[in-house]
Amino acid sequence: MGTKPGVWLVVAIAACGSEPKPDPSDVSCEAQPDPHCDHPIDRIVVPKLRELGVPIRDATAEELCRRMAIDLLGRGPNSGELTACAGQTAGEMFDAFTAKPEYLREQRRQWGELFKFDNSNVRSEEIIDLDTLVGKLYADELPYGDYATQAAIHPALYALHPDDS
């Protein structure tokens, strides 16, 4: 009896002459393969959409361009960017938007809101120094782990949250 347990199932199925039918209620990416399941995040989202009966569709280049411009630059795309997006993959659009100076400005603004910059409680030089760290992160001059450590212990952040030590 040196046979593995799974072999008996295969032998039994072969003997019956039929293969097991997939369970239609299994909405997982493994049970229902789909190119939309290629990304790790999509392997979580796609089954949830299937459970809800929401059809999965790809965004048009114009829609994707608009969403990326708003998220990455803080504004809608201009006509030149819309034209460029028409012939680009999502990765190429992302690269083009993140190469723009507005990308760094938008990331600094978003981190500033997260940090709750307020120069009534913190010296301006400290806020500028913490904002410079954000710039170094997005210029690939500072690894994220180092950035997170430096930001967490930075006087500008600590001054805004002195009781959170």
- pLDDT by residue for the chain (165 residues), tens only, comes to 443 333 333 333 344 444 455 566 788 888 888 888 888 998 899 999 989 989 888 889 999 999 999 999 999 999 999 999 998 999 999 999 999 999 988 988 888 877 777 666 667 788 888 888 988 998 889 999 999 999 888 887 776 666 665
At residue 165, the pLDDT reads: 56
Distance separating alpha carbons of residues 42 and 159, to the nearest angstrom: 39
Cα dihedral across residues 62, 63, 68, 73: positive or negative: positive
Residue range(s) defining the domain that contains residue 117: 102-164
Contact residues for 129 (Cβ-Cβ < 8 A; gap 6+): 154, 156
pTM of the shown model: 0.63
At residue 35, the pLDDT reads: 85
Q: Do residue 30 and residue 67 come from a single domain?
A: no
Q: Is the residue at 4 inside a domain? A: no
Q: Are 47 and 28 in contact (CB under 8 A)?
A: yes
Q: Is the residue at 45 inside a domain? A: yes
Q: How many domains does the chain have?
A: 3
Distance separating alpha carbons of residues 74 and 102, to the nearest angstrom: 8
At residue 11, the pLDDT reads: 39
Q: For residue 76, which of 89, 92, 64, 59 has the smallest C-alpha distance?
A: 64
Q: Is the residue at 82 inside a domain? A: yes
At residue 64, the pLDDT reads: 94
Boundary residue ending a domain (81, 99, 117): 99
Q: Do residue 47 and residue 88 come from a single domain?
A: no
At residue 163, the pLDDT reads: 65
Helix residue ranges per DSSP H, 116-154 = 124-138, 144-152
Q: Do residue 137 and residue 107 come from a single domain?
A: yes
